[in-house]
Structure 1
Amino acid sequence: MKIGIDARNLTTSMTGIGRYVLEMSRHLALRGHQLYLYFPQSPHGDVKNLPPAQLRVARFPGGVKRMIWAQTELPRRAAQDGLDVFWGPAHRLPSFLDRRIARVVTIHDLVWKDMAATMRWQTRMGDRWLMKPGIAVADQVVADSEATANALREQFPAYAEKLSVIYPGLTAIQGGSKAKSLSSFGINRSYILFVGTLEPRKNLLRLLQAYASLPEAIRQELLLVLAGGQGWRLGDLKEHIASLHLQSSVRLTGYVSDADLAQLYGQARFLAMPSLYEGFGFPIIEANAMGIPVLTSNRSSMPEVAGAAGVLVDPDDVQSICRGLESLVADNVLYDRLAGEAKSNAGRFDWIESACQLERVFETAIAKRRQGVR
């Protein structure tokens, strides 16, 4: 197939959705398909790291110009390339693609509806106004968790019949000699790890409060390490840490390289990820792949992703989070059982299988489009 892909998520530093676009594209290319990657501006980083593809790079930098590109330059170039199918891997589709081109959109979450206050306003408004038109013009719609699929069926019941669920795969995070020493992050003893952008949806303030509620003996034994770049609308996290008198027990690493992240996962006691909402939650399976269990939330996609390798807590309840943390520290039988399930749980998520399933969705979309054109 000739597959066109909206690659706008590869114009910034790597995020969860960016990794999804990159890995799914790479595995589609490995299956012999001809890819066309459409960029509103130059891709981030070295183009040698992109999958084999024809690159279509425009000059539409910035949010507003990118929206114009998506409805003008992008469909024009797609028509010229004679695509079989166009894939919007993150909530968007051009409204006016050539009618002969099948179109598929992937929806990762409905944060704009369920957790709007935790989003940047530009992203919130973009999803609120552009998600439904993208779903409406799509021949097929993909959700990357059952939780998101159920939310889509509730929000857009008219389009439920064209919805499929395809889990993302697991990307092995490579360590190696380029990793910094743990001491360079101020880590001098065992630790609980959080991984993610430091923003409201990650529920960091309650995680800090729960950690502060642990017996002092546990906090003396286990640091809390927060690994991730600064996000938005969280205020001064260091002030919150100071107000809880946790300066000696919490470490902020900032954004870390994959090599550093692999080391942080590999040495952690467990991952703590009590998010308010996740469309999928890559850190859960990244931690599991390293053999460590997780503490995560009992809502949205997190229970289905954590499977049998996690402790589930109520993310709105500080005491529930605290009890979960304490159980993973003090209950060695529970810990060993969850750790024993970790790698097999991570093994459920495979990019090869994901690409095969997406390929079948593309074939269905192409067949529907050809029947419609006739």
Structure 2
Amino acid sequence: MGSVVQHFSRIPNMKIGVNGRNLVPSFTGIGRYVLEMCRHLVAKGHEIVLYLPEKPSFPLPEWPGTTVRIGNHAGAIRRLIWGQMVLPQLAAGDGLDVFWGPAHRLPLYLNQRIPRVVTIHDLVWMDAASTMRFQTWLGERILMKPAVYGADKVVTVSSATAEAVKIAFPAAAEKVSVVRSGLTLLSGNFTKESFAAFAQSHRIDRPYALFVGTLEPRKNLPRLLEAYSRLSVKVRGELLLVIAGGQGWRLANLTTLISQLGIEASVRLTGYVTDGDLAGLYANARFLVMPSLYEGFGLPIIEANAMGIPVLASNTSSMPEVAGDAALLVDPQDVDALTCAMCRLASDEHLLRHLAARSRLNAARFDWHKSAAEMIRIFEDVIAMRNKYR
């Protein structure tokens, strides 16, 4: 594993305000990003003030040096109002050194004396708008542009997203930096015995290809299921398709599609799983399949790689960059290509071992300590820049 370069902060105890809206109402990849980055910023000696519009969907960790301010603004519209009207008032009174919007937004009326940084994870609203809820698309369309242009620095989690931001917002190109997400090792309460019980309860009784993610249009599940249905009866009999993830939207008919394709006997839907069960699913999978139409980063790729599991991923957006040389890449809109790739990984032991041998090395490129150190440098830079012009 590569060594992490030590970084000694020029400002040893920054007070960092963080918009925690992505911790409600559900815990997703961006929520994990917010928590992990905050945890590592605190571990490096900085103070976090975490602002939430309402009670989070899960108990927040209690870290020394962290203040959590929870409002009473439930619902999408009220959360939007909170972010633009209430949050800037709170931030103005908290003596912040810097304010960080970790997911696409900054308060329009944030006190001008406060340095501000925004992180952009993806441009789904521009590049894959049809896969989004209308209210989410509208919020991104209205609020991302002023956040990008209003920020002192813009951080993206991948080079692919950085290039997309520079094209979409050319006047902000010079202030874009890449700070990749880190890797969270999913240990949970995973043991062979606990996974055996989980597998039995979900009828996972043979080797399987694994999908992990929220069940929503961007994840391309209809094409994945169709591709899987085109595998021979023999291959499907020897390789289950396990789909792990909470219900998103516009995929309420997923079980109907599975039935129509005649693959009920070899598809398992686990629903949302705990970190412990997810670790077990990764560790025991033959390979991960991630045929998303678009990803700003793609955490499941490196989570699977960390367990030594190879990946079948899309050749679009950030996924080739994140997967490195530990994945088989395909066009996510080509069902035949997906089928062929799954068949190869199901039957070609040499290819599987070749990719698996590179998996852990690929995952080791992503480290939260390094990510937090890079983010600290950016915070220091924007503070210094603001002080220079005061």
Could you tell me the TM-score, scaled by structure 2's length?
0.93
CA distance in 1, matches of 2:289, 2:63: 32
Matched with 1:139 is 152
Matched with 2:202 is 185
**Of 286, 298, 301, which residue of structure 2 is paired with 1:284?**
301
CA distance in 2, matches of 1:51, 1:354: 20
Aligned-pair CA distance for 1:213? 1.0
Asked if residue 159 in structure 1 is aligned to residue 172 in structure 2, the reply is yes
1:308 alignment partner AA: D
CA distance in 2, matches of 1:276, 1:61: 31
Change (3 A) 1:236 1:300: same
Deviation digits for residues 141-173 of structure 1, max 9, x if unmatched? 000001111110110000000000010000011
- Number of positions where the alignment pairs a residue of Structure 1 with one of Structure 2: 373
Asked if residue 269 in structure 1 is aligned to residue 290 in structure 2, the reply is no
Determine what percentage of the aligned residue pairs are the same residue: 57
Could you tell me the TM-score, scaled by structure 1's length?
0.97
Matched with 2:265 is 248
| CA-atom RMSD in angstroms | 1.2
Asked if residue 20 in structure 1 is aligned to residue 37 in structure 2, the reply is no
Cα pair 2:42 2:63 within 8 Å, conserved: no
Cα pair 2:46 2:65 within 8 Å, conserved: no
Q: How does 1:83-162 map to 2 (within 5 A)?
A: 83-162=96-175
**Of 9, 14, 19, which residue of structure 2 is paired with 1:6?**
19
Q: How does 1:1-374 map to 2 (within 5 A)?
A: 1-49=14-62, 52-174=65-187, 175-176=189-190, 179=195, 180-372=197-389, 374=390
Deviation digits for residues 9-50 of structure 1, max 9, x if unmatched? 112332000000000000000000011011111233223456
Which runs of 5 or more residues in structure 2 are unaligned? Answer: 1-13
CA distance in 1, matches of 2:239, 2:261: 16
Change (3 A) 1:339 1:204: same
1:363 alignment partner AA: E
2:291 alignment partner AA: P
Which runs of 5 or more residues in structure 1 are unaligned? Answer: none
Aligned-pair CA distance for 1:51? 6.8
CA distance in 1, matches of 2:385, 2:76: 33
CA distance in 1, matches of 2:53, 2:172: 29
Cα pair 1:210 1:318 within 8 Å, conserved: yes
Secondary structure of 2:265's aligned partner: coil
Deviation digits for residues 297-319 of structure 1, max 9, x if unmatched? 00000000000100000001001
Cα pair 1:293 1:335 within 8 Å, conserved: yes
Structure 1 range deviating more: 41-50 or 254-263: 41-50
1:176 alignment partner AA: F
Secondary structure of 1:59's aligned partner: coil
Cα pair 1:26 1:52 within 8 Å, conserved: no
Cα pair 1:100 1:370 within 8 Å, conserved: no
CA distance in 1, matches of 2:260, 2:112: 59
Structure 1 range deviating more: 62-71 or 346-355: 62-71
Aligned-pair CA distance for 1:371? 2.5
Change (3 A) 1:6 1:355: same
